[in-house]
Amino acid sequence: MRKQMLFWFNEAFGYTDAVQVFFSPGRFNILGEHLDYNGGHVLPGAMELGTYIAAAARSDTLLNIRSRQMQDACMVDLTKPLPAEKGWWRYVAGAVVTICQQARKFQGLDLLLHSTLPIGAGLSSSASVTAGTAYATAYFLQLHPSCAELAVWSKRAENEFAGVPCGYLDPFAICCARRGYALLLNCSSLHYRYIPVHMHAYAFIIVDSGTRRTLAEAPFKQRAEECAHAKRMLRRLLPIEELADVTPHQFYSVAHWMVDEVAYRRARHVVGENARVLTAAESLNDATAHRLARLMHASHVSLRDYYEVSTPQLELLVAMTRTVPGCLATRISGAGFGGCVLSLIRRSAYAHFIDVVSEKYRKACGFDAAFYPADFSDGVRLLTAGE
Ligand code: GLA
């Protein structure tokens, strides 16, 4: 892919000297949905699919951005405020500006992006662009941030420049993931641990419903506000900082005081999901696959009934996949409101699962499902010759 990117870069910019190629993955989340902005735990891994970025330093302060997936090119001067218009390029420009601010130097770049991720499917296509661009910019500025620092900067870039109110799940998964491991991240302290995944007889697979949502949309922001409200209510009753600090025991002892039904439901999801993540982190092996499946199922029910982020298509997929022999559990993956589900299946049933689900789903609702392996890959990196 590195060679291919250099070829495309040459087509776009007419040179290949000193061009480097970077890869920034997409992410999936085994458990811990909508916990990052509530200070809870998440358990993601990185995908093999993601964003390739070919980049070279310029001798001026101009940022020249092209994408193989988007028609419009974009040129901005880093010493001037970014134009007000919205657009995909803001993720790129925002990341470059954020890293330049860290380095106190405006470094012009020529950038060509190519994504192998479906856009807006809940697999972090935008965070993959932001974190990949941040990594590439840090490389040319000879900053050597830790993966956690890079994740924090990437999140800031996405919040401030693209207006996406995302949390730490996506940038940490993309910046810090390691092959063969899931990442257990505490989104309050930002401490993380690598959990080895010993699943050989079982595999995770992502099923894309073909329906889309965007994170800047109202429902995501609304959930964040509802949780902030629930936190304010619970803080009057319990000694907590974050909503996810509430233990299930504490929650049930005060829940009857929560007169606001919506706040109760959102808090109930957050409290239960956080406890599930911690158990799931100890269940990533063949012997405990059925326990993990029960946790995934409970997570889905909670996302559907208490967090209310499911859709008819996602429900159809969940119900359908569960009837396929070899499928242990399926749950919404990512924010919900469309996008993908994640299934835990017997590895030997992989091909059959894809055949059956594609056919049944198309017949039932007319949409084509797509399937992506949820393998635990490496985080953002510079590609070497031959990669
Ligand atoms: C989106 C956001 C993340 C996280 C998930 C839900 O992917 O970008 O920060 O909140 O939704 O877990």
Q: Over the stretch 23-32, which tens digit does the pLDDT of each residue have?
A: 999 999 999 9
- Assign 3-state DSSP to the chain and report helix, strand, coil percentages, each to 5: 45, 20, 35
Q: Is 335 in the pocket of ligand 1 (CB under 6 A)?
A: yes
**Residue 49: pLDDT over 70:** yes
With beta carbons less than 8 A apart as the criterion, state whether 299 and 276 touch.
Answer: yes
Q: Is 37 in the pocket of ligand 1 (CB under 6 A)?
A: yes
**CATH number of the domain to which 153 belongs:** 3.30.230.10
Q: How far apart are CA 109 and CA 314, in angstroms?
A: 41
pLDDT score, position 212: 80
pLDDT score, position 288: 98
Could you tell me the two tokens for 215? 């994170």
Provide the 3-class DSSP secondary structure of residue 149.
helix
CA 55 to centroid of ligand 1, rounded, Å:
28
Q: Is residue 325 one of the residues assigned to a domain?
A: no
- Residue of 169, 226, 341 to test ligand 1 pocket, by largest number of atoms within 8 Å of CB: 169
pLDDT score, position 206: 98
pLDDT score, position 18: 96
CA 333 to centroid of ligand 1, rounded, Å:
9
More confident residue, 79 or 218: 79
Q: Report if pTM > 0.75.
A: yes
Q: What is the CA radius of gyration of the chain?
A: 21
Q: What mean pLDDT comes out for the span 274-300?
A: 98
Average pLDDT, the chain: 95
Active site residues: 170
Q: Is residue 341 one of the residues assigned to a domain?
A: no
**Residue 217: pLDDT over 80:** no
Q: Is residue 95 one of the residues assigned to a domain?
A: yes
Q: Is 26 in the pocket of ligand 1 (CB under 6 A)?
A: no
Q: Is 215 in the pocket of ligand 1 (CB under 6 A)?
A: yes
Give the lowest-confidence range in 193-197, 255-259, 342-346.
255-259
Q: Is residue 363 one of the residues assigned to a domain?
A: no
Query: pLDDT exceeding 70 applies to what percent of the chain?
Result: 99
| Full residue range of the structural domain in which residue 70 is found | 2-197+377-382
Q: Is 28 in the pocket of ligand 1 (CB under 6 A)?
A: no
Give the lowest-confidence range in 94-108, 152-166, 350-364.
152-166
CA 314 to centroid of ligand 1, rounded, Å:
17
Q: How far apart are CA 225 and CA 262, in angstroms?
A: 11
Nearest CA to ligand 1 atom 1: 335
CA 284 to centroid of ligand 1, rounded, Å:
22
Q: How far apart are CA 302 and CA 359, in angstroms?
A: 28
pLDDT score, position 207: 97
Q: Is residue 55 one of the residues assigned to a domain?
A: yes
Q: Is residue 66 one of the residues assigned to a domain?
A: yes
Q: Is 43 in the pocket of ligand 1 (CB under 6 A)?
A: no
Q: What mean pLDDT comes out for the span 246-274?
A: 96
Q: Is residue 304 one of the residues assigned to a domain?
A: no
**Residue 137: pLDDT over 60:** yes
Q: Is residue 124 one of the residues assigned to a domain?
A: yes
Convert the pLDDT of each residue in 142-180 to its tens digit: 999 999 999 999 999 999 988 878 899 999 999 999 999
**Residue 214: pLDDT over 60:** no
Q: Is 303 in the pocket of ligand 1 (CB under 6 A)?
A: no
Distance of CA 94 to the CA centre of its chain: 18
**Residue 216: pLDDT over 60:** no
Query: pLDDT exceeding 90 applies to what percent of the chain?
Result: 88
Nearest CA to ligand 1 atom 2: 166
CA 13 to centroid of ligand 1, rounded, Å:
35
**Residue 235: pLDDT over 90:** yes
Domain total in the chain: 1
For residue 293, name the pLDDT band (cuts at 50, 70, 90).
very high
Q: Is 110 in the pocket of ligand 1 (CB under 6 A)?
A: no
Nearest CA to ligand 1 atom 10: 34
pLDDT score, position 83: 86
Provide the 3-class DSSP secondary structure of residue 157.
helix
pLDDT score, position 281: 98
